[in-house]
Amino acid sequence: MGMISKFVTTAIAALVAAVALTLSTPVEAAQKQAKKKATATAKSPAHKAKRAKRVVRVVPARPSFGQLAGLRATDDALDLKSSVALVMDQDTNEVLLSKNSNAVLPIASITKLMTALVVTEANLPLDETLTISQEDVDTEKGSRSRLRVGTQLTREEMLHLALMSSENRAAHALGRAFPGGLSAFVKAMNARAALLGMSDTHYVEPTGLSSQNQSSAKDLATLVKAAHEHQLIRELSTSPEFRVAVGRREMQFRTTNSLVRSPIWEIGLQKTGYITEAGRCLVMQATLAGRQLIMVFLDSTGKYSRLGDAERVRRWVTEFAPAHAPVAVPAPADLSPSASAAVKLAI
């Protein structure tokens, strides 16, 4: 009886093992098949191309002209992040702070302040309708715009968007619609700069997208002072937001300068700017500690550092400046007149 039981047990165990072996074989076969398919797919040209698209290529940022000239190595008492800075009393022309203020650099969309000055002083009808055309599309930097080709706005609306939101197509359309066309407008920009005594300044187009639009902080302070005389430019440049009707829909635009919304700032005029060659730029007219001041910051290193520099100046003026002599930061030793000229001509 014992031997029979042992025989049955052995037979059952053998049967179970055989069944398990039979069942596992298709599974293993399926796994091998899947592995083989995955290997073949990984080696296929289509898969390799797909994987190649996933590779993120890190392209080093191109240096600004100020960086190439060594201006960012200049130290200053306020630890400003801008290579170039100038703070001046609007009424007395007293310079409170100067850092590389004679260096000539690209000025990006600060250009639009001269665009606004020329348009305003030409006394062209502000209610005239202008149309965005293919000519206004940026081929210099490939920048985008919310104003599509065919968009129709009044000259004042174009001016508003150019100053407040730094709309490139709006600024270009303003120049193109000038009597005599774009070339006549650029000549008018340079003529106005010369009349103001802006000897370091040169314009080639009305938007600031070209690095050939260049100036110095000293010259830009003069431009801010002249532009501030016009109420329209003051109001449009310091507008926090603006809605325009484009066809059947309404579009909302906002200022590029968040300080405009700050309750601790009393800003009378402002303009921001940025292209790689110029770095981050900012010009403002503001009332601080009871004084009308003009501030210029060029070639700032980070997205928000120009605003941070303005805040550093505000704190310094309101808390410490009355007890100190004006701050003058000398130009770096390597920025000789010839070096400055090289920066100006480096396109």
pLDDT digits (tens, 9 = 90+) for 112-136: 999 999 999 999 999 999 999 999 9
pLDDT tens-digit series, residues 143-156? 999 999 999 999 99
**CA of 180: how far to CAs of 129, 151, 155, 186, 188, in Å?**
17, 22, 16, 10, 10
Task: Provide the pLDDT for residue 326.
Answer: 57
Length of the chain: 347
The reply to whether 109 belongs to the active site is: yes
6 is catalytic: no
Residue with tokens 């770095």: 279
Class of residue 53 by CB neighbours under 10 A (exposed 0-12, middle 13-18, buried 19+): exposed
The dihedrals phi and psi of 256, each to the nearest 5 degrees, come to -90, 0
320 vs 328: CA distance, rounded Å? 15
H or E stretch at 163: helix 155-164
Choose, from 98, 145, 166, 305, the residue flagged as catalytic: 166
**Which of 109, 145, 210, 216 does the annotation list as catalytic?**
109
CB 270 within 8 A of CB 283: yes
Average pLDDT over every residue of 254-259? 97
Span 213-229, average pLDDT = 98
> What is the 8-class DSSP label of residue 240?
S
d(CA 224, CA 222): 6
User: Is 166 among the residues known to form the active site?
Assistant: yes
- 272-329 pLDDT per residue, tens: 999 999 999 999 999 999 999 999 999 998 889 999 999 999 999 998 765 555 555 5
Catalytic residue among 99, 112, 271, 344: 112
Which residues are bridge partners to 263 per DSSP?
A: none
pLDDT for the residue 344: 42
pLDDT in tens, 6-51: 544 555 555 445 544 444 455 455 566 656 665 555 556 555 555 5
Which pTM does this prediction carry? 0.78
Report the distance separating Cα 340 and Cα 223, nearest Å: 21
